[in-house]
Amino acid sequence: MGSLIPEDVTKPGTHALVIGVSHYRHLEGGEAVTSAGKDFAMEQLTAAARSASEFAAWLLQDYKCDRAPLKSLRVLLSPSENEIIHPRIVPLLQDDSSATLDNVKTELLDFMQACDSHNENVAIVYVVGHGVQLTKHGAIVLLHDVGADNHLSILEGAIDVAGVHAAMNHPNTAQTQFWFVDACRQEPMVARYFESLGGALAPRNVHKKDAETSIFFLAAGTGQQAFARPNKVTLFNEALLWALSGSVAVGPEDNGRHLWHVSTTALIKQLPDRVKALAHAEGARQSVEITGKIHEAVFHEYSEIPTVNVSIDLHPQEAKDVSKGTLVQDATDELIVQQYDEWPFQRQLEAGLYVMEIQAEPPFRSKNKPLSFVPPGRNTIINVPS
């Protein structure tokens, strides 16, 4: 299969491996159900492959990292019937791009070799499908042909993502790594069956030293309801793309990060909460474990200062009728609005610090209120003192 874009390992860059498995050939509902496949007691999925394709498309279209631009993108998808793959990705998939054990072995090896080409490389891995969460640190994700009759062990058609992560955690490869595992986790009594089994795909390497940054996000929702909206994308994918669209962007830094960007810490702080909120809205529960080597790093950059949706209101209600607001952007001294009185004030503004001057009539008192507008935006209620 190979990279969807011309691969370049002559200079530092970002290398990505994306795997999404919705269709399981040998599990219930597959076209060649085996007795081993039945033993898994798992259904076909409807969102994993699409979610993987959405992330791959984002990498192609929007990913920005000036110090390590995208240099290879490997995508393996096994979609279910009628599952919609991102139109940007479809024409790039050639030959057999299904997420079988053999294909994953081939692409994984090539991906690891590409990552080894420069320490300044960035590695991004995104794997989504049925999984068994074994620990905080990882999950086994089942591949398209798990349960095949010619497999010697029950987990031969699965990838131990934590094991792969550990194998790549050393000083002689990409020193900045981002791992995203999005697994439809199994109920404890089912998971128990797999706990002590071996055989899942994982290179066996033990290293003395770690990579500099190798952060691992493991999203695991128990059952399909917690995993994805039917025939759409997974909740984790939805949360991740929300984050990458600018919602968790942080400001530039004196230490050389000159652009607004998505940082490791921003993802750590915001992604789990967002996933939880989305799952809760579906009446389900999903957690995001954060492990690996945690170090501050930039995942994605923005060319422009992000804008945020701002809403400013006053409290108490009586203050609104007798208060006027003047909003100034401090960095530019730009007057945003003057003598505003139709509360709440709502507008899309550039991220930054602002000052709202409230001129209030008795019994209320005027005040100046500094405000920080950061992505994804905020609702602010200013208490007007009396």
Helix or strand (DSSP H, E) at 280 = helix 264-281
Q: Which of 64, 276, 324, 365 binds other proteins (CB under 8 A)?
A: 276
242 near other proteins (CB under 8 A) = yes
228 near other proteins (CB under 8 A) = no
Whether the bond into 344 is cis, omega within 30 of 0: yes
Q: Which of 9, 84, 290, 349 binds other proteins (CB under 8 A)?
A: 290
Q: CA torsion 156→161→162→164, rounded to 10°?
A: 90
Q: Map residue 349 onto helix, strand or coil.
A: strand
Q: How many residues does the chain have?
A: 386
| Complex with other proteins: residue 115 or 267, whichever CB lies closer | 267
3-state secondary structure 147-213: CCCCCCCCCCCEEEHHHHHHHCCCCCCCCEEEEEEEEEECCHHHHHHHCCCCCCECCCCCCCCCCCE
What minimum distance in Å lies between the beta carbon of 278 and other proteins? 6
| Complex with other proteins: residue 28 or 193, whichever CB lies closer | 193
Q: Map residue 71 onto helix, strand or coil.
A: strand
Interface segment toward other proteins; rule CB under 8 A; list 61-69, 96-104, 122-130, 244-252 = 244-252
Phi/psi at 295 (nearest 5 deg)?
Answer: -150, 150
Q: Which of 153, 348, 372, 386 binds other proteins (CB under 8 A)?
A: 372
Calculate the alpha carbon distances from 137 to 87, 96, 163, 230, 270 in Å: 33, 31, 9, 27, 19
| Complex with other proteins: residue 49 or 162, whichever CB lies closer | 162
Residue 259 CB neighbour total at 10 angstroms: 17
The 8-class DSSP code of residue 228 comes to B
| Complex with other proteins: residue 21 or 164, whichever CB lies closer | 164
Q: Which of 285, 324, 347, 365 binds other proteins (CB under 8 A)?
A: 285
Calculate the alpha carbon distances from 176 to 121, 194, 249 in Å: 7, 31, 19
Of residues 330-359, which lie at the interface with other proteins (CB under 8 A)? 330-331, 351-353, 355
| Complex with other proteins: residue 90 or 381, whichever CB lies closer | 381
What minimum distance in Å lies between the beta carbon of 78 and other proteins? 26
Of residues 48-107, which lie at the interface with other proteins (CB under 8 A)? none
Of residues 96-155, which lie at the interface with other proteins (CB under 8 A)? 133-138
Of residues 173-212, which lie at the interface with other proteins (CB under 8 A)? 188-189, 191-192, 195-196, 198, 202, 204, 206-210, 212
CA angle centred on 72, ends 5 and 98, rounded to 5°:
75
| Complex with other proteins: residue 11 or 315, whichever CB lies closer | 315
What minimum distance in Å lies between the beta carbon of 51 and other proteins? 16
Q: Which of 278, 298, 336, 360 binds other proteins (CB under 8 A)?
A: 278
Q: Map residue 103 onto helix, strand or coil.
A: helix
| Complex with other proteins: residue 195 or 318, whichever CB lies closer | 195
Q: Which two tokens stand for residue 323?
A: 């208060």
| Look-up of token digits 């891995």 | 125
C-alpha R_g of the chain: 24
| Complex with other proteins: residue 89 or 382, whichever CB lies closer | 382
Cα(176)–Cα(122) distance, integer angstroms: 5
Q: Site for other proteins (CB under 8 A): how many residues?
A: 79
25 near other proteins (CB under 8 A) = no
What minimum distance in Å lies between the beta carbon of 269 and other proteins? 5
| Complex with other proteins: residue 338 or 372, whichever CB lies closer | 372
Of residues 305-334, which lie at the interface with other proteins (CB under 8 A)? 305, 308-309, 311, 315, 329-331
Q: Which of 65, 251, 337, 357 binds other proteins (CB under 8 A)?
A: 251
